[in-house]
Chain A
Amino acid sequence: MISLIRLIALRELKSLFLSPLAWAILTVTQIILCYQFLSQLESYLQLQSKLSVLENSPGITDLVISPLLAGAAIILLLIVPLLTMRLISEEQKNQTLALLFSAPVSMSQIIIGKYLGVLGFLMILLLMVALMPLSLLLGTAVDLGQLLSALLGLFLILASFTAAGLYMSTLTRQPAIAAVSSFGLLFFLWIINWAGVNSGTAGRGESVLSWFSLLNHFEPLLKGVFSSADIIYYLLFISLFLVLSIRRLERLRLPH
Chain B
Amino acid sequence: MEHELLIEVSHLSRHFSTNQMSDQSAYITAVDDISFNLKRGEILGFLGPNGAGKSTTMQMLTGNLAPSHGSIKIGGVDLMDRPIEAKAMMGYLPDTPPLYKELCVDEYLSYCARLNQIPKAGLQQAIDTTKERCGLMDHGQRIINNLSKGYQQRVGIAQAIIHSPDIVILDEPTVGLDPIQMIAIRKLIKELGKTHSVMLSSHILPEIQAICDNVQIINQGQLVFSASIDQLNQHMQTYSIRMSCQYSVDIQLIAALEEVKSVEQLKSNDSQGDSIRIHCFQNNPSHKDSLQFKSQQQSAVSELAQQLVSMAEQQAWGLYEIYAEKRSLEDIFMSLTCIDSGAGKQDLKQGDLLD
Instruction: Give A contacts to B, CB under 8 Å.
Output: 3-4, 7-8, 11, 14-15, 18-19, 94-106, 253-256
Contact = CB atoms under 8 A, between A and B. Distances in A.
A253 B66 contact: yes
A192 to B, nearest CB: 29
B98 A256 contact: no
Which of B83, B112, B115 has the most chain A CB atoms inside 10 A of its CB? B115
Contacts of B91: 102
Given A96-B99, A99-B98, A253-B66, 4 more contacts: A3-B114, A96-B98, A103-B115, A255-B66
A15 B102 CA distance: 7
Contact of A103 (B59, B67, B116): B116
Interface in B228-265: none
Contacts of A98: 59, 62, 64, 92, 94, 98
A41 B347 CA distance: 93
Interface string B201-240: 0000000000000000000000000000000000000000
Contacts of A101: 62-64
A8 B111 CA distance: 9
Given A19-B102, A95-B96, A102-B87, A255 B111 contact: no
Contact of A100 (B23, B67, B84, B115): B115
Contacts of B17: 255-256
9 contacts: A4-B117, A7-B114, A95-B96, A102-B64, A103-B112, A253-B63, A254-B66, A255-B66, A256-B16
Nearest to A16: B102
A64 to B, nearest CB: 39
B147 to A, nearest CB: 15
Contacts of A100: 115
B88 interface: yes
B15 interface: yes
Contact of A104 (B87, B98, B101, B107): B87
B100 interface: yes
Contacts of A104: 84-85, 87-88, 115-117
A57 to B, nearest CB: 52
B68 interface: yes
A11 B111 contact: yes
A15 B90 CA distance: 26
B14 interface: yes
Contacts of A4: 115, 117
Contacts of B99: 96
B68 A255 contact: yes
B103 A15 contact: yes
Contacts of A14: 103, 107
Contacts of B23: 256
A188 to B, nearest CB: 25
Which of B14, B88, B100 has the most chain A CB atoms inside 10 A of its CB? B100
Contacts of A94: 96, 98, 101
Contacts of A106: 83-84
A103 B88 CA distance: 7
B159 interface: yes
Given A102-B63, A253-B65, A18 B102 contact: yes
Contacts of B16: 255-256
Interface string B63-92: 111111000000000000001110110111
A238 to B, nearest CB: 25
B20 interface: yes
Nearest to B116: A103
Which of B23, B87, B112 has the most chain A CB atoms inside 10 A of its CB? B87
Contacts of B92: 98, 102
Nearest to B65: A253
Given A95-B94, A99-B112, A103-B116, A255 B14 contact: yes
Contacts of A8: 115
A120 to B, nearest CB: 16
Contacts of A103: 87, 112, 115-116
A15 B100 contact: yes
A94 B15 CA distance: 23
A99 B16 CA distance: 22
A30 to B, nearest CB: 24
A255 B65 CA distance: 8
Contacts of A19: 102
A96 B97 CA distance: 7
Interface string B8-30: 00000011110010010000000
A3 B84 CA distance: 15
Contacts of A99: 98, 112, 115, 159
A95 B92 CA distance: 13
Contacts of A256: 16-17, 20, 23
A20 to B, nearest CB: 11
A105 B62 CA distance: 12
Interface string B35-68: 0000000000000000000000001001111111
Interface in B101-144: 101-103, 107, 111-112, 114-117
A211 to B, nearest CB: 35
A224 B114 CA distance: 43
